[in-house]
C-alpha cells in the first residue's frame, strides 16, 4: 500500500469533565506517538477560534478524524463549523460498547485497567486511519 506523504488529522475532544474525555485524549496520543507516528498529525480544537487562517484550514488540508468523548460531539461539530467536514467522526461510548469495554470511572491517574481500554480504543482509531489512507 503506497499512501505517499498524506497525513490524517486527528482532532480529539478535550473532555476534562468526564473519563471518556481522558480516554479520547490518551488514545489519540497513542495513535500519534506509537501506532501511526508518521501518518497522523493533530491540532488543538480551540485553535479554530484562537488561531488564524492556517489553523482553520486544517480540515481542508488533511482528511480528518474527530474523536469525541460524549454525545455533545464538540470535536465533530467544532471541526465542521470552523474548519471543514471531518472524514470520519468517532464516539468513545460507541467504541467501548462495540468492543465490550467498561467505561473508566475516573478522569485522571489512569492505571493498568484504564490503560488497557485506551489501547483498544487507539487500535480502532488506527484502523480508521488506515481505511482513510487506503481510500487515497
Partner 1 sequence: MNKKQKKVVVLACSGIGKTYGALAREAAYELVERVRPGVTSLTCLPLLVVNDAEARHLVTENPVLTIDGCPRECARKSVEALGKVVDSPIQVIGFYTAHKNLKPEGVAKLNEAGRKLAMVAADELAAAVDELTQEKK
- Binding footprint of partner 1 on the chain (CB under 8 A): 12-18, 21, 25-26, 28-30, 33, 42, 44-51, 72-75, 77-78, 81-82, 107-108, 110
Phi, psi at 5, each rounded to 5°: -95, 5
Gap between the Cα atoms of 83 and 62, Å rounded = 11
- Closest approach of partner 1 to the CB of residue 103, in Å: 17
**Hey, which bits of the chain come out as E strands?**
8-12, 40-42, 64-68, 88-91
Tell me the closest approach of the beta carbon of residue 119 to partner 1, in angstroms.
12
What's the min distance (Å) between Cβ of 99 and partner 1? 21
Q: Which is nearer to partner 1, 54 or 135 (CB)?
A: 54
Q: C-alpha cell of 116?
A: 488497557
Amino acid at each position: 500500500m503506497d499512501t505517499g506523504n498524506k497525513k490524517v488529522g486527528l482532532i480529539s475532544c478535550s473532555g476534562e469533565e468526564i473519563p471518556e474525555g481522558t480516554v479520547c485524549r490518551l488514545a489519540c496520543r497513542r495513535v500519534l506517538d506509537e501506532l501511526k507516528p508518521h501518518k497522523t498529525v493533530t491540532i488543538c480544537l480551540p485553535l479554530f477560534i484562537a488561531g488564524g487562517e492556517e489553523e482553520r484550514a486544517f480540515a481542508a488540508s488533511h482528511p480528518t478524524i474527530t474523536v469525541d468523548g460524549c454525545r455533545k460531539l464538540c470535536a465533530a461539530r467544532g471541526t465542521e463549523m470552523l474548519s471543514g467536514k471531518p472524514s470520519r467522526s468517532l464516539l468513545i461510548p460507541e467504541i467501548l460498547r462495540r468492543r465490550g469495554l467498561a467505561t473508566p470511572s475516573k478522569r485522571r491517574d489512569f492505571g493498568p485497567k484504564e490503560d488497557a481500554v485506551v489501547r483498544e480504543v487507539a487500535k480502532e482509531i488506527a484502523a480508521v486511519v488506515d481505511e482513510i489512507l487506503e481510500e487515497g
